[in-house]
Amino acid sequence: MVTEQTTLSNLAVEVENLERIYKIRGSKKEKNVRKELVALKDVSLQIKRGELFGLLGPNGAGKTTLIKILTTLLAPTSGWARVAGYDVVKEPGKVRTQINMVSGGESSGYGLLTVRENLWMFSQFYGLPSKEANQRIEALLKIVGLEDRIHTKSSDLSTGLRQKMNIVRGFLTDPQVLFLDEPTLGLDVGASRDVRHLIRNWLDQDRSRTLLLTTHYMVEADELCDRVAIINQGRVLACDTPSALKQQLQRDALFEISVGALNGLAVPTLERVPGVRKVASEESEEMTVLKFILDEDAALGGVINKLTESNVKIVRLDKHEPTLEDVFVSLVGRSMAEVEKEGSNGDGK
Partner 1 sequence: MQNISALNRSESWRSFWMATWLGWQIESNWTDPFLFAVYSIVKPLASAGILVVMYTVIAKGNFNTPIFPYIYFGNAFYIYVGAVMSGISWAVIDDREHYKTLKYMYIAPIHIPAYWLGRGVARFLTGSIAVVITIAFGALFLQVPLDLAKVDWPLFFVSLFTGIAMLAMMGLILASITLLIAHHFFLIGEAVAGALYLFSGAIFPLDVLPAWLRPVGFAIPITYWLELMRRSLVGNVAQAFPTLSHFSNLQLVGILVGLSVIFGIASTFIFRFCDYRARERGLIDRVSNY
Partner 2 sequence: MATGSNPLASLPVEKASGWKLFLKTVIARAYPRIIGQQREKSWVFFDIFLPMLAISSYVFVYRAIGASEDYVGFVVIGGAMTAFWLNIMWSMSSQLYWEKEQGNLALYIMAPNSMMAVLLGMAVGGMFATLLRAVVIILLGSWFFHVQYVVVNFFQLLAVFFISMTALYGMGMMSASLFLLLSREADHLAQLAMEPVYLVSGMYFPIKAFSFWIAAAASIIPLTLGLDAMRQLVFQSGATLGFLSVTVELTILSILCVSFLIGARALLAYMEKLAIREGRLTESRR
- Asked if residue 25 binds partner 1 (CB under 8 A), the reply is no
Please choose which of partner 1, partner 2, none residue 200 contacts, taking the beta carbon within 5 to 8 angstroms, the exact cut-off set by kind.
none
By CB under 8 A, is residue 108 in contact with partner 1?
no
The piece of 111-119, 129-137, 233-241, 266-274 that touches partner 1 (CB under 8 A) is 111-119
- For residue 105, state whether it binds partner 1 (rule: CB under 8 A): no
Strands (E), the chain: 11-25, 34-48, 52-56, 78-83, 86-87, 99-103, 177-181, 210-215, 227-232, 235-240, 253-259, 276-283, 288-294, 314-319
DSSP letter for 349, please.
Answer: -
For position 124 contacting partner 1 by CB under 8 A, the verdict is no
Identity of residue 248:
Q
Of the candidates 219, 250, 210, which has an alpha carbon nearest to the alpha carbon of residue 45? 210
Please tell me the distance from the alpha carbon of residue 340 to that of residue 312, in angstroms, as a whole number.
26
Look at residues 115, 180, 112 and name the one whose alpha carbon lies nearest to residue 151. Answer: 115
Using CA atoms, how far apart are residues 141 and 217, in angstroms rounded to an integer?
Answer: 25
Which helix (H) or strand (E) is 118 found in, with range? helix 115-125
State the binding partner of 156 from partner 1, partner 2, none, CB within 5 to 8 A by kind: partner 1
Regarding 154 and contact with partner 2 (CB under 8 A), the answer is: no
The answer to the question of residue 139 lying near partner 2 (CB under 8 A) is: yes
| Distant-in-sequence, close-in-space partners of 309: CB < 8 Å, separation ≥ 6 | none
Instruction: Report the residue number, 36 or 318, with the smaller CB distance to partner 2.
Output: 36
Q: Does 124 bind partner 2 (CB under 8 A)?
A: yes
Determine the interface stretch with partner 2 among 8-16, 51-59, 72-80, 212-220 (rule: CB under 8 A). 72-80
Site membership for partner 2, residue 136 (CB under 8 A): yes
Only segment of 110-118, 231-239, 293-301, 319-327 that touches partner 1 (CB under 8 A)? 110-118
Buried b (16+ CB within 10 A) or exposed e, 161-178: bbbbbbbbbbbbbebbbb
Q: Does the footprint of partner 1 cover residue 155 (CB under 8 A)? A: yes
Cβ–Cβ contacts within 10 Å for residue 288, how many? 18
User: Among residue numbers 299 through 318, which ones bind partner 2 (CB under 8 A)?
Assistant: none
Sign of CA dihedral 118, 122, 125, 131: negative
121 is an interface residue for partner 2 by CB under 8 A: yes
Of 53 and 171, CB closest to partner 2: 171
> Considering the complex, what minimum distance in angstroms separates the CB of residue 212 from partner 2?
14
Residues forming the site for partner 1 (CB under 8 A): 107, 110-113, 155-156
Residues forming the site for partner 2 (CB under 8 A): 20, 22-23, 68, 71-75, 93, 96-97, 99-101, 106-110, 112-113, 117, 120-122, 124-129, 131-132, 135-136, 138-140, 143, 153, 171-174, 198, 201-202, 205-206, 349
